[in-house]
Structure 1
Amino acid sequence: MKPGRRAALILLILMSVFLLLNTPLVWKWMYPIKFQQEIVTASNKYNVDPYLILAVIRSESSFKTDRVSKKGAVGLMQIMPDTAAWIVQQAGFKPKDNQYLYDPVMNIHIGTWYLNFLLERYEGDLVKVIAAYNAGPGKVSGWLSNEQWSGQREHIEDIPFGETRQYVQRVLYYHDRYKKVYGKDLQ
């Protein structure tokens, strides 16, 4: 095969692969949604963007209901048991048993209630909410009042904790990606 034809064939193959990878079906395979109905229900009930819930779940557990972190966070939305107990008391949830954080429905409702709580506390500022979900609202409020971090997306690199900094970047990435892939399909 002549070099010119070989280059054209390679270019054609590369373009075909690119077009194949750039289809909605492939994007939805790369960014799946599990527990969609539960997420939409909690989103509507607690007035939280469903793409934020998805991004948190994807970042925290990759949709694995039995995930437990090294620090003890449990379930889809990786909720610390002490935080969950506080939320259950504040929100008036009635868990069936002491394993409720492993129940995807309960975990999604508790995590989404907490996201709503943080959204109210930080006046809807998504970046601060995501940071507080990871590090805790006390830490984030301290960083803001001590001017260690401005709270702005453009200054994520100033977040004092590397884990929180990477977490915020990851959740924002997944939030943007899910929103782009699914558009209004999730509403």
Structure 2
Amino acid sequence: MKRYKRILFICAIAAALLLLGWFFLNREYKYFMRSAYPLKYSDIVAKEATKNHLDPAMVYSVIKAESNFDPDAKSRAGAIGLMQLTPDTFDWLQTKLKSDEKYTENNLYSPEINIRYGCKFLSILFNKYSKQATALCAYNAGIGTVNAWLKDPDISKDGVTLDQIPFEETRNYVNIVLKNYENYKKTYQFNDKGESVND
């Protein structure tokens, strides 16, 4: 009987240690994921994602892929800021988002303006293309390029879905954004105001 009680006691200790280990590992994993996939500029993202009917997790995923949250980022192609908008795209978007003020490309370094117009652009693309990956291709490669791909039966059989993405850079970009999106969705929950509800 004593031996049986000793075995039960050892099993209880082992179970408690396993539970404790799981708790600490889970906490460290959450900390790692939140460090790797941060919610920077959360007030602006929440506001603009909600206004444009976008999933905030997607907005964060694009920002992470485009600039890794560096508001001063500038690409070789001249794309600027957090969501890497080109001056030409920015000028075109200003005709869609009426404002009393005419902005210049230097304004793209402002997180508030960059995210406002980047979210507007994403919203236009997600409304134009029914497939998430297609919209992301257009964000990276341009609307004209993607429309040409959709008209090519070797690239798109139905004119809606891209069976392949011809540009390697765009293919890699879409994969990165969608992987980011998957991880943001696993790591955070958002309310209807685009705010994180995680502790």
TM class, shorter-length: 0.7 to 0.9
TM-aligned CA distance change 1:35 to 1:148, over 3 Å: farther
Gaps of 5+ in 1: 1-11
* Aligned position for 1:71: 77
* Aligned position for 1:23: 29
TM-aligned CA distance change 1:96 to 1:87, over 3 Å: closer
* Aligned position for 1:93: 99
Match runs of 1:1-187 below 5 Å: 19=25, 23-95=29-101, 97-98=103-104, 99-123=106-130, 125-150=131-156, 152=161, 155=163, 158-184=164-190, 186-187=194-195
CA distance in 2, matches of 1:137, 1:145: 12
Give, as a single letter, the amino acid of the residue that structure 2 aligns with 1:53: V
CA distance in 2, matches of 1:22, 1:39: 26
The superposition leaves residues 156-179 of structure 1 with CA deviations (integer Å, 9 ceiling, x where unpaired) of: xx2110000000000000011111
Moved more, 135-144 or 64-73: 135-144
CA distance in 1, matches of 2:98, 2:133: 27
User: Does the aligned pair in 1 maintain the 2:150–2:161 contact within 8 Å?
Assistant: no
TM-score (norm 1): 0.82
What SS class does the counterpart of residue 76 from structure 2 fall into?
A: coil
Deviation at 1:149, TM superposition (A): 2.9
User: Does the aligned pair in 2 maintain the 1:131–1:168 contact within 8 Å?
Assistant: yes
* Aligned position for 2:4: none
Deviation at 1:142, TM superposition (A): 1.0
The sequence identity of aligned pairs, in percent, is 36
CA distance in 2, matches of 1:21, 1:160: 41
Count of residues in Structure 1 that have an aligned counterpart in Structure 2: 169
The superposition leaves residues 77-114 of structure 1 with CA deviations (integer Å, 9 ceiling, x where unpaired) of: 00010010010122113457522101000000100001
Runs of 4+ in 1 over 2 A off after TM superposition: 18-23, 93-98, 147-153, 183-187
Give, as a single letter, the amino acid of the residue that structure 1 aligns with 2:111: P
Q: Which has the larger radius of gyration?
A: 2
CA distance in 2, matches of 1:91, 1:106: 11
CA distance in 2, matches of 1:114, 1:144: 20
Give, as a single letter, the amino acid of the residue that structure 2 aligns with 1:138: G
